[in-house]
């Protein structure tokens, strides 16, 4: 923990608050659905006296983790209890399938106070699993129904065995493996106690995060899932060797890897078989469920680097008078060592849009964008402004740094809408607020974005790191000096998304940092540069800095009125809002940051449609105005 304390923006040593948090987190990692532990079992840890918290803290400072070991022993007892309950529940559920359809899940607002309540929670998990598979496969026989609950048990015991310290074959783990598991859990709990975004990761988790950030990995492009008949193909990645072979289909049953049968092997082992082949060629054997006799066939594939283009960016356009309005959807801010980046993808998208016609307007869609690399957020914002401060970062000891765009000419400077939602977070909030600050774009969407305005130092992208973690080291602000922490980016024009009725945001997370602000930096102070660099910037950078554009701010009342009138007259949008009101009425019973229903009214993306209409209004207002769009307030 010394490394975490040295980096963290606020917490520099153990205290009783962190002790209480870490115990709570340790319990919640194990039992997030509150289906294992009784209220009387957890209360001594959740309502710890100050005296006991100090005793635990003293032990932790001496690297004595016996309190966590005792908690783990309690968890082991609860697992054995749950397994005994599920064995008789499965028999009852298989024989009484009508009960499954009428079963109502119990409330899990607190820990169970009785054994009966605990049994109902285990039953609820099993019923939900059954209903999920019933919607996707044929369960017309007692045998197939039993297979569903057998699969549930196999999946659940795979997790439970890590607490019982048993291997996939139900053999005792080695002492080294037990120590690694305990250390991982303790470090995860202690790290998360510092704040909501500080985390410790296993090597497997770090690998998955690297793939997500870099949007590239090596393989054959099959996404696997575990079904009642075995391991199936859940997805084929577009442009991958598997997809391009033309021989593999969704729901094909994977039964062999390089001649080795997979039917009796644990799911994780099958995944490892795919990863750890000795050559680039891999031969997969399949059975097809729809084919008569489930005909067996083999498909040879060559591993190669796969770029997840579909997950990176989507580009389209609408025709309008005088040209086209481009629509670019960016789902994260990514960068890989092979030259793939969000900045390059957006530049290429704008180039291709210009080939389709005169690009007179643009919508940058960040509704599903939860962030990514800060450096890429700066570069993406820099495509729409000239020289200037994009991000101000402030760290634990008060030191301030400025992240700048140093390209003297913007790549696009026409009417621009940044489309956001409550799920737009972190790096996407930087881009939205930075462009809003300079007045070069209007932010359209939910009333506010997620509200993550903190900076994390991370080792996840370094595959050779000795451990994988991220730790909150600072806060960021945009040129106005405003932070997006807690409050998020406030929309210029509210066009609600399907997330609008839900309690989503940083403020609903546990242990978020507080919000603050710094001095604006529209006029770059250059205070973080040495004397030689400062003189160079004064000559070649400052004369070309982005000025604040006041035009769209002055046009905002007209644009808001036009948008409100369109939405009021659109029956589809009104039906959408009515559905939102229904969700709002029951959203109080949902946990924060939970979406239980995707609102869909018709086939059209009505938020994007309105964003395009706003851009059309911007084009028209700009054409009608004698006032220059660029300039300063």
Q: Tens digits of per-residue pLDDT, 408-462?
A: 899 999 999 999 999 999 999 999 999 999 999 999 999 999 999 999 999 998 9
Residue 632 is predicted with a pLDDT of 37
The mean per-residue pLDDT over the stretch 256-271 comes to: 88
Q: What is the pLDDT of residues 392-409, one digit of tens each?
A: 999 988 899 999 999 989
Q: What pLDDT, on a 0 to 100 scale, did the predictor assign at position 109?
A: 78
Cβ(603)–Cβ(516) under 8 Å?
no
String of DSSP letters for 347-406: HHHHHHHHHHS-EEEEEEE-TT---B-HHHHHHHHHTSS-BEEEEEEEETTS-EEEEEE-
Q: Specify whether the CB–CB gap between 541 and 409 falls below 8 A.
A: no
Residue 291: predicted pLDDT: 56
As its CATH architecture, domain 310-546 has Alpha-Beta Complex (3.90)
| The pLDDT of residue 181 | 95
**43: its two tokens:** 């209360």
pLDDT of residue 98: 56
Q: Mention every residue, 6+ apart, whose C-beta is less than 8 A from residue 262.
A: 230, 231, 254, 255, 256, 270, 273
Q: How confident is the model at residue 95 (pLDDT cuts 50, 70, 90)?
A: confident
Mean pLDDT of 274-302: 82
Indicate if the pLDDT at residue 290 is higher than 70: no
> Packing angle between helix 115-134 and helix 66-95, nearest 10 degrees?
60
Instruction: Give pLDDT, residue 592.
Output: 81
Q: Is 229 helix (H, G, I), strand (E, B) or coil?
A: coil
Give the tokens for residue 121.
């929670």
Comparing CA positions, the residue from 386, 469, 378 lying closest to residue 428 is 378
- The segment(s) of the chain belonging to CATH 3.90.226.10 are 310-546
Residues of the chain with CATH 2.30.42.10: 217-307
Predicted confidence at residue 139, as pLDDT, reads: 83
Residue 266 banded pLDDT, cuts 50, 70, 90: confident
Would you say the C-alpha torsion 190, 193, 195, 200 has a positive or negative sign? positive
Task: Place domain 217-307 in its CATH homologous superfamily.
Answer: PDZ domain (2.30.42.10)
Structure tokens that stand for 440 in this block: 């070069």
CA nearest neighbour of 371 among 304, 302, 431:
431
pLDDT higher than threshold 70 for residue 524: yes
Is the distance from CB of 72 to CB of 37 less than 8 angstroms?
Answer: no
Q: Tens of pLDDT along 28-87?
A: 999 999 999 999 999 999 999 999 999 999 999 999 999 999 999 999 999 999 999 999
Average pLDDT, stretch 577-594?
82
Q: Is the overall model pTM greater than 0.85, yes or no?
A: no
User: In 3D, which of 182, 148, 152 has the Cα closest to residue 76?
Assistant: 182
pLDDT exceeds 70 at position 118: yes
Q: If we measure between CA atoms, which residue out of 12, 14, 11, 10 comes closest to residue 516?
A: 10
Q: What is the mean pLDDT of residues 505-513?
A: 93
- The neighbour count for residue 398, using CB atoms within 10 Å, is 6
What integer pLDDT is reported at residue 137 of this predicted model? 81
The pLDDT value recorded for residue 629 is 61
Q: What is the pLDDT, as a whole number, of residue 633?
A: 36
Q: Which pLDDT value is given to residue 631? A: 43
Mean pLDDT for the chain?
91
Of the listed ranges 76-80, 218-222, 469-473, 540-544, the least confidently predicted one is: 218-222
Cβ-based neighbour number of residue 485 at 10 Å = 22
Average pLDDT over residues 309-333: 91
What pLDDT score does 628 carry? 59
């Amino acid at each position: 923990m010394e490394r975490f304390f040295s980096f963290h923006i606020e917490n520099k040593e153990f205290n009783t608050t962190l002790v209480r948090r870490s115990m709570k987190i340790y319990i919640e990692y194990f039992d997030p659905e509150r289906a294992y532990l009784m209220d009387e079992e957890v209360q001594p840890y959740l309502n710890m006296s100050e005296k006991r918290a100090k005793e635990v803290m003293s032990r932790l400072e001496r690297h004595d983790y016996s309190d966590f070991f005792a908690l783990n022993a309690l968890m082991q007892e609860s697992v054995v209890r749950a397994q005994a309950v599920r064995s008789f529940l499965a028999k009852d559920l298989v024989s009484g399938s009508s009960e499954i359809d009428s079963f109502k899940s119990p409330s899990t607002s607190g820990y169970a106070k009785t054994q009966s309540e605990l049994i109902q929670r285990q039953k609820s998990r099993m019923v939900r699993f059954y209903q999920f598979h019933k919607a996707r496969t044929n369960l017309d026989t007692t045998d197939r129904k039993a297979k569903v609950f057998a699969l549930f048990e196999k999946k659940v015991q795979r997790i439970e065995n890590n607490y019982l310290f048993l291997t996939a074959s139900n053999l005792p783990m080695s002492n080294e493996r037990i120590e690694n598991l305990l250390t991982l859990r303790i470090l995860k709990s202690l790290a998360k106690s510092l704040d909501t975004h500080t985390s410790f990761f296993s090597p497997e988790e770090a690998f998955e995060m690297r793939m997500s950030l870099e949007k590239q990995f090596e393989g054959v492009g099959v996404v696997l899932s575990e079904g009642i008949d075995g391991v199936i193909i859940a997805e084929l990645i577009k442009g991958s060797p598997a997809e391009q072979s033309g021989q593999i289909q969704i729901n094909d049953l994977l039964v062999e890897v390089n001649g080795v049968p997979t039917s009796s092997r644990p799911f994780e082992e099958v995944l490892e078989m795919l990863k750890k082949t000795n050559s680039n060629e891999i031969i997969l054997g399949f059975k097809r469920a729809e084919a008569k006799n489930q005909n067996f066939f083999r498909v040879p594939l060559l591993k190669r680097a796969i770029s997840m283009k579909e997950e990176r960016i989507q580009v389209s356009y609408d025709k309008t008078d005088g040209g086209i309005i481009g629509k670019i959807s960016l789902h994260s801010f990514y960068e890989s060592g092979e030259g793939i980046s969000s900045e390059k993808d957006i530049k290429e998208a704008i180039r291709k849009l210009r080939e389709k016609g005169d690009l007179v307007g643009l919508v940058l869609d960040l509704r599903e964008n939860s962030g990514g690399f800060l450096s890429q957020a700066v570069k993406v914002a820099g495509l729409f402004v000239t020289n200037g401060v994009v991000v101000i970062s402030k760290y634990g000891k008060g030191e301030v740094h400025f992240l700048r765009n140093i390209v003297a000419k913007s790549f696009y400077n026409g009417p621009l809408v940044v489309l956001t939602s409550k799920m737009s977070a972190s790096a996407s909030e930087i881009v939205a607020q930075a462009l809003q600050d300079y007045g070069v774009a209007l932010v359209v969407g939910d009333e506010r974005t997620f509200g993550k305005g903190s900076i994390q130092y991370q080792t996840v992208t370094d595959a050779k790191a000795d451990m994988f973690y991220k730790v909150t080291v600072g806060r960021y602000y945009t040129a106005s000096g405003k932070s997006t922490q807690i409050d998020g980016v406030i929309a210029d024009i509210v066009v609600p998304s399907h997330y609008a009725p839900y309690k989503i945001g940083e403020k609903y997370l546990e242990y978020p940092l507080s919000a603050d602000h710094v001095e604006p930096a529209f006029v770059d102070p250059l205070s973080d540069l040495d004397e030689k660099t400062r003189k160079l910037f004064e000559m070649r950078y400052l004369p070309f800095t982005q000025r604040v554009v006041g035009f769209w701010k002055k046009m905002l009342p007209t644009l808001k009125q036009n948008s409100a009138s369109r939405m009021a007259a659109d029956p589809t949008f009104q039906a959408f809002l009515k559905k939102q009101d229904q969700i709002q009425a029951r959203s109080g019973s949902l946990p924060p940051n939970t979406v239980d229903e995707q609102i869909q009214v018709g086939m059209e993306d009505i938020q994007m449609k309105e964003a395009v209409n706003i851009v059309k209004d911007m084009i028209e207002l700009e054409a009608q105005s004698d006032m220059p769009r660029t300039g300063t307030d």
